[in-house]
Amino acid sequence: MRTRTIVETRKVPHTIDGRTVLVDEAYTVRVPVPPRDWDRAVRTGLLAVAGIVGAAAVTWSTVSIGALLQTDVPAAAAYAAAGTFDLLWIGCMALEWLARYDPARAAAPRRAGWVALVVAMLAITAHGSLAGSLAIGLIGSAVSAGAKTLWWLTLRSFTHRLNSRTQQWVDAQRADSEGELALIPVRRELARARSLVAAEKTARRTQDADPDPADVEEDGPDADVVPMHKPRVVVSAKDAVRDAWDAGLRDPVQIRRTASAAHGSPISDATVARYVRALKVGA
């Protein structure tokens, strides 16, 4: 049995000056080496080969179909469109792989992939025929067919078949999960609809409300309404002196009396004199 050496660590006591602590100690141990997984190695190599073949098929079909299309359209548009021919069956094959455990869902991309392959092969053959070499066209179309077949067989080797009961159990679990996912946008839609209905009802109640009912006298007194007195506006001493000054009064005594009446309380002579000096400076 083949073995290999690995380094591991363990805790060991280490004492200095009578004080012991646990420290890490490295040691080597030999462990058996599992046998080589040849199936995995072969599958890895198969994926590499399939990738190379697929790239070659896409390149050939793009060049061939692009040369066919550029006779009537610009070269950039022709080769861009040509690249989609093989990419179509590659995309369908990817969808088939994603639905590998759902035969009913995988059937549609499988059929679409083969149809896309046939269309690409016909386009490559047509280019060879128009170029005067039908054999090259047939060989080129065979490249795409071989790449598609190789990828199809490669993916099948990674797919595990399920018996009837297991498949039914998987379908039931998938249906429950997909149902929960589908209910998320449905609940959001219902919540938005309920919000709109509630807003509409609120708006209608506001519009239908009558601010002046017919059984209430429009301008009559209401026993439940308590009359409110208008609050008295308080004028500051400075504003009262300014108003008296703007009214043309220049006698300090007259200004003090008029301003005190407007202010609501007596204003001292010193205060009046200070504000009058400021008004004279401003004038």
Higher pLDDT, 30 or 202: 30
pLDDT of residue 159: 82
Exposed/middle/buried for 40, CB within 10 Å: 0-12, 13-18, 19+? exposed
pLDDT for residue 216: 47
Helix (H) or strand (E) holding 6: strand 3-16
Q: Please provide the average confidence, as pLDDT, over all residues in the chain.
A: 84
Token digits for 157?
Answer: 């080797």
In a 3-state reduction of DSSP, which class is residue 115? helix
User: Is the CB of residue 35 less than 8 Å from the CB of residue 94?
Assistant: no
User: Directed axis angle between helix 269-282 and helix 252-263, to 10°?
Assistant: 110
Q: Using the structure block, give the residue that is written with the tokens 């792989």.
A: 97
Asked if the model's pLDDT at residue 1 lies above 80, the reply is no
Task: Please report the pLDDT score of residue 283 as a whole number.
Answer: 62
pLDDT of residue 122: 92
pLDDT, residue 233, reads 57
The CA–CA distances, whole Å, from 169 to 98, 133, 162, 181 equal 18, 54, 10, 19
With 60 as the cut, is the pLDDT of residue 228 above it?
no
Report the percent of the chain where pLDDT is more than 90: 26
Q: Which residues pair with 216 in a beta bridge?
A: none
The confidence score (pLDDT) of residue 114 equals 93
Q: Measured between alpha carbons, how far is residue 139 from residues 38, 60, 118, 128, 214 in Å?
A: 34, 10, 14, 9, 94
What is the C-alpha to C-alpha distance for residues 250 and 244, in angstroms, rounded to an integer? 8
pLDDT tens for 66-95 read: 888 888 888 888 888 898 888 999 999 999
pLDDT at 222 over 90: no
pLDDT digits (tens, 9 = 90+) for 253-281: 888 888 888 887 888 888 888 888 888 87
Which residue would you say has higher pLDDT here, 229 or 21?
Answer: 21
Q: Does 102 or 207 have the greater pLDDT score?
A: 102
Question: Quick one: how far is CA 194 from the chain centroid?
Answer: 25
Name the amino acid, one letter, at 249.
Answer: L
Structure-model confidence comparison of residues 228 and 157, the more confident one: 157
Tell me the percentage of the chain whose pLDDT exceeds 70: 89
Task: Say whether pLDDT at 133 is over 80.
Answer: yes
